[in-house]
Structure 1
């Protein structure tokens, strides 16, 4: 088990403590400090006495920032002298030598995260070993109550060296009058030093040590030139070509820095940026106070009289005050609004929540980091913000809006890559450039608005007549997708429009009820077969037509003449009657048919004078064309005559023909009296009936014939 940080507690099988401590020695470094108090001034030189017994404390800054109770109490991200002294006093740091813990035993500070320094007779002191990191240093005590304490803090970093090696020097004094000023250009957003392009500054003293207003430009004069502008060294600007314009440029200075080559007296100075690096916004003049009481970095300590071992007086080293000028970076803000093309449908299935719409924003050329010239976003990569975080893939909000903020300046392409069901992808690549307006360097955000319209899927459903392709009202239709019913409607005299079906998906259109008239009577259309279709993915309007056709039947004789009076029945493959009617002189539209099915037509009663037609089958073709069927009835042809044994016609005999089925007498030509020709009875007999032919009167000398039944 872990007992505390760095200690693993372990027991053997007999319960004996076998705890082992694992120590990884961190990288460490030290710093030293010289403390003096004010002495006498002699023209431009002044001397200070070393101060013994001055107490200073250095603490790892991050630890104090996290402690908002006793450290960064105002939560402004900066440790003031008051806050640090409160932190030191609360935890008793100035009296500690080991790890500092709270009342519960939890560690507050490691002994390598703070150092207490007390100056000796020579005013010098050296810190204990400190782990790498950023520290805050302030004075917490003095041995002589007549000496003022320094009321400012100093921030520094332990960044190099090894254990027990001094890596930095600091100087503390109560009465400094001269300073070196080093201006460092910083990115306010990333905190990095701007080294790609140079910045230029003018410096003016606007108040003296006592606060009295003055207006004295800082000018550096050599034997040949006068400089009133100071330029930082950068990757793209490492030459002295600006000297002729009065711009001081030290190519040996640190990248991103402009160190003024002359000392400045204590007072208040205005730093005015006159040339801002590309991609950064201009900044208002800054004010820096060079205080007479401070702790500052010092490259070395020098004996005032160069006598080795002399600690009675120290030459006051001229401290370097570093002032960071922080500029916000110009950036782009891409405002996207996703819209759906207007369409007035009968049924709208388009999504109301557009958060399923996804975009990709990619650089069309390398995007350069203006801090140091590195490639922030390579050509073709997803876009990044000014902090280097990838922001190029995103979904819009439910209302279709989205803002890509803090976008690094450059050239981009925006493409839609995914949409929710019901919409089609807008394949248009939207290219745009976000660039800085050099005439308005104060502008921070460059906004680019882009409306992107998506076409919904649109399908127009038409129920049409096979006869003339006009819209056919009155049919009940259903739409199915993935086995589920999506919609049902009754056709009208215009197409039915559905918006928002899934692009690329297949659907089935079914007719459940064929058209009927206003009284609910079937109009005789055959029920159409299912229509399967796929919704287009390119945003074009799909048109789906379902054709209803007629199948008509005409009852004709062998001469093509309509034969009324026949009783006709149509049955399906299972023998079920789907329609029956009595023929007229017009074609009949067969009802209750379905495309693709086979049916049987049967004449159940033939008109008088006609034979029964033979039953016939037909299949309703799936061709969208009206279909005509025929049923032919043949006329019953019959002759009656009276003949002798030689086959000669016998005239004058009266014949009588009786329909024994109907018990009626059939009217014969010439009142039934035979002639030298047979009686023609075409169309006068009824199929299926029985008849009796007999002689009612006969001619003398001719035998009376026996009655004939047929």
Structure 2
């Protein structure tokens, strides 16, 4: 029942679902017939992609809102998902397989079909069909042939049918197919009809998807055509511009397929300049003539070329729709070509607008003008002239001109007044602009010059030059394809420097002859005048002729204006006649062009006072010390004397300096050659060897006498150090010293040669302990030892030493000093710990601590060096450790004296870098040893533990000996002998001494050692017996205890008749009583505890 109901329910649900689908399908059919399927689906970001899915037959179409806000469909949505092939005829085709082969369908249009003659193939036929002059094909051969007439089409945007119409016979791609696979016709003698018919069958197969398309053909031909269909499907997709369509879709007749005119669009190009303000009205630039090429997308195949007009515009129509690359092939005049291709899109019946901006070419200007001297052809001024601050009018004209554009009435576009810098250059910078328009600049803000013409005219000459009125013309031209591939010739503009002349007439003071006209001047011939530029130091010479005449005209005959350039000069008479005073130097200035300066000059006789100044030859300072003595000699080196008349007449042959370090000769000297000879040098200086020549060639007065300088060298000294061992007095090598100034070291000229505290030398002693300083200025110095030799103590105090002057003939003073060093010192004093007696012969070992790096942990670890040194105390119990190098040392006792306990302590000490032992000059280690000894003894009779017994009672004496300072593992031997206390002699038993001996380890004697002596007490009634003990370590006796009066070592044997009963002498009974009482108490206590538990 339940199963039957389920069957009924499913049946009813199927009926309802079928009716609902049929209604929806009818609506879809109506919509398909009235609306176009959008082809504008390439812009994915704005529209939904319209794609026909051949497997599910789903169309994705875009939607938009109407004026009321309702969504209206610009296409339709059909799907085959979950629908059987029986429902397809209501839509487009018969079967699912047919739609898998069919193309996507979009927009509709009207075409005119012409049905042609019937043609046969196999056992079937078709007709020639023509649509608007192009072949069309029947796609459903089982249906009736349509009639000629007007039909509405549905465009194909993809799929196998569209590809078939492109590559089939009559299609635009047929030759491509034929070149790859051969003709579509079957057999060797195929005709045009065969080509058409076989194309018809293949297209029907591509549309229907079944072999019904091959009705009337045998199976071999069918298989051949199916292969050709596959070949078509393997060919590249037709271009997007190819227009294919279907028509007669919804009739009972055949569905038809055909192709029409290519889908085309157009392109407009607009060319711009990145600097339109430059090119406006400038014939050097243009927007015309830019050539663009349109290429297949991603390929180098050129399809079309376009050239722009004067406005930069170009247009190309009837371009098949699709994607292309556009490239600029040629830039317009004055611009840079844009080499990078750009992608463009041509849409059907639309204009693609392409805008392109080219970079205008320019010259990256910096230096725009260079000024130079016309005569030297160099950009460097002569004399006192300068190339700075020349001003130029610089004008820019749009266009190229060979001559001055202003002469033709052309107005400059921009104009600047610029000035030259210190190098005579003009750079296009704001700081050099006097006035004018803004500079041209590129997009980066750099100053540039556009293509055109620039003129230059000097409007203000620089100082010392004449104005150049010439107008210079230069152009900025393109010289390549780059933005800055331009050429501009920076003009070099010359200026003529101002020139003038000097004319001199020279006479002498002497009267040569008298005439009626009076005194006559005598001209001087051969007098040389030097003319020196105050600015540059340039010099020239002119020489007087027989008339005393000299002129600079001869210095620059090529310069008609004069031989001296713009400048101020010093004119000097180079050499006057002997005995005559030369004319003093005088200045002249050339500041007017072509002007001559005239001078008349006269020479007079020469006399001059002479002043000698004493100076330090190193510092050139005056030595303000009195007492330097000189002798004056003539040209023949003979002494000259001089006389003074006030207050008394005195004759001088020697002349001394005063406290100012100088003297003035009492008389003037005529012109000539002379010498000073130093007789005595000033304090602190060496006498100058040889003579001091000087020549009087010009007049001087007493206020400014002729100066002669005498220079002496200061005396110096050297310090000699002898470094010795304070103990051995031998020299020590390798000791380092610093020598410092202990005061400001000054020479008599007042110069501080070395400031106090300054290090003037570093010395190291040689093998013999000697060291010498360099030469030092005289004064007091401090010698500081900075590094002592290893094994020595660095002295705490420095040594002062003074270098003193020893006379004018001793150039180097030598001062010696001996400096002693104490060796490092550690003293070990070994003594008995109790008696304090010095112990000789004790051995010690010394080892140095070393630091090593652990390779595993990288940590620094300390260890003792394997090298060790053994020392033995002397008769005073001492060891002296000397000459130890810096480091940490460990000292330990290696072998004590026999009978002494080894001191296990390790003594560690450090020798510091300064040689001290932990800061001390000497370290003393007091080390004690303790001697093994017997501390006490106790002798008793073994059985009674009593000191006294009655003869015959006991026979064994026990002697307990205690010790101190024993080696735990050492083996000792204790020997004992019994002595007669009264006679002091050995106790003889049966004629032999009574002895005992015991060998033991030191560690076993902590509680003492007991020795037993077997004595027959019956033989020695009334004797007092003393035990003597001796202790041996090996064979060496180390201690003995022999004291006849020591009661602890003494026991007695009483005679029987001497025994008396003492009151209370009941020791045995007392012990027994105490034992019995103790036992009773224990028994009573135990009984009481037992009863207590029961209760």
Higher helix share: 2
Q: Which has the higher contact order (CA 8 A, sep 6+)?
A: 1
State the TM-score, normalizing by the size of structure 1.
0.45
Larger radius of gyration: 2
